[in-house]
Amino acid sequence: MKVRRFLVRSGNIRGQEATIEDLQEIRHMRQVLRLGIGDPVVLFDGSGKEYQATIIQCTPQKIILNVSRELSGIATESHLRIILGMSVLRPNPFEWLIRKATELGAAEIVPFYSSRAVPRWENSEREARQTRWQKIAAEAAKQCRRTKVPPIHSPLPFREALAVSYGDAGKIFLWEKGESGSLAKVLRPFPETIYALVGPEGGFSELEALQAQEAGFRSVHLGPRILRAETAGIVIMSLLQFIWGDLD
């Protein structure tokens, strides 16, 4: 029998008892997976911990589990911390990107508005989209056996995205007019954290490229072909994990 994994925030794990109160998750567990009292599951708290548990109470409003032990399985989090700064795209490609970047080990995703991106949203719509993005990242983390769920930030103006600080992180941005040297040459010495910016369909404007360079970002390009924005995001994630991360 396949043991299913479920996200339970650390605040809902108290000693040997854990509670799932997300109604959509409960419906999935009860009606789709047909789980019930006595069934074993694996819980992860999104911050790196994973537990063996058993369902002890199962109602349409709440599932209560007995936590038997903390697991110490195969490490699924990359030692390379990649922060992916991504221009906001149309909903379908952007949500696809969030799923795939999570699978590839993104530590955080920072959406931003750029001059060629979709229009900015009002506060209520921005909050609703961020909530949906975070749920997509959690679902992707559950599926690919990650123990951490990458935070998806609220969209920022491009200037503010440039100013987000990650200490001594290596900083790059993808630009078709960027440097032709390899990533290994652009990012020296060996980085522990990388903050990579990917522009919208149509790429960064000349002004945005200048602003990024003034903020300390090095420009790189991904070869002679023009990639879709969501493709470029996944390619740079894959390359960084291959060169310095856990895909080597």
User: What is the topology classification, in CATH, of domain 4-70?
Assistant: Ribosomal Protein L25; Chain P (2.40.240)
pLDDT at 179 over 80: no
Q: Where are the domains of the chain?
A: 4-70, 81-243
The model's pTM is 0.88
Highest mean pLDDT range out of 22-31, 67-76, 86-95? 86-95
Q: How many CA atoms lie within 13 A of 27 on its CB side?
A: 3
Tokens read off for 102: 């999570």
pLDDT at 8 over 80: yes
pLDDT score at 41: 92
Residue type, 79: H
pLDDT at 242 over 70: yes
Task: Provide the pLDDT confidence category of residue 124 given band limits of 50, 70 and 90.
Answer: confident
pLDDT score at 106: 97
Task: Provide the pLDDT confidence category of residue 9 given band limits of 50, 70 and 90.
Answer: confident
More confident position, 207 or 49? 207
pLDDT score at 96: 97
pLDDT score at 73: 63
pLDDT at 160 over 90: yes
Tokens read off for 76: 């699924």
More confident position, 116 or 135? 135
pLDDT tens per residue, range 49-81? 889 999 999 999 999 999 988 887 667 889 999
pLDDT at 6 over 70: yes
Separation between Cα atoms, residue 231 and residue 246, nearest integer Å: 20
- Rounded to 5 degrees, φ, ψ at 239 are -65, -45
pLDDT score at 190: 76
Separation between Cα atoms, residue 85 and residue 109, nearest integer Å: 6
Sorted by sequence, the CB contacts under 8 Å of residue 223 that are 6+ apart come out as none
More confident position, 221 or 56? 56
Separation between Cα atoms, residue 27 and residue 121, nearest integer Å: 31
Separation between Cα atoms, residue 30 and residue 28, nearest integer Å: 6
pLDDT at 180 over 70: no
CATH class of 81-243: alpha beta
Residues belonging to the chain:
248
Mean pLDDT of 197-222: 92
Helix ranges restricted to H, the chain: 23-27, 91-103, 123-143, 158-163, 183-186, 206-214, 229-243
Separation between Cα atoms, residue 70 and residue 230, nearest integer Å: 36
pLDDT at 84 over 90: yes
pLDDT score at 191: 81
Task: Provide the pLDDT confidence category of residue 164 given band limits of 50, 70 and 90.
Answer: very high
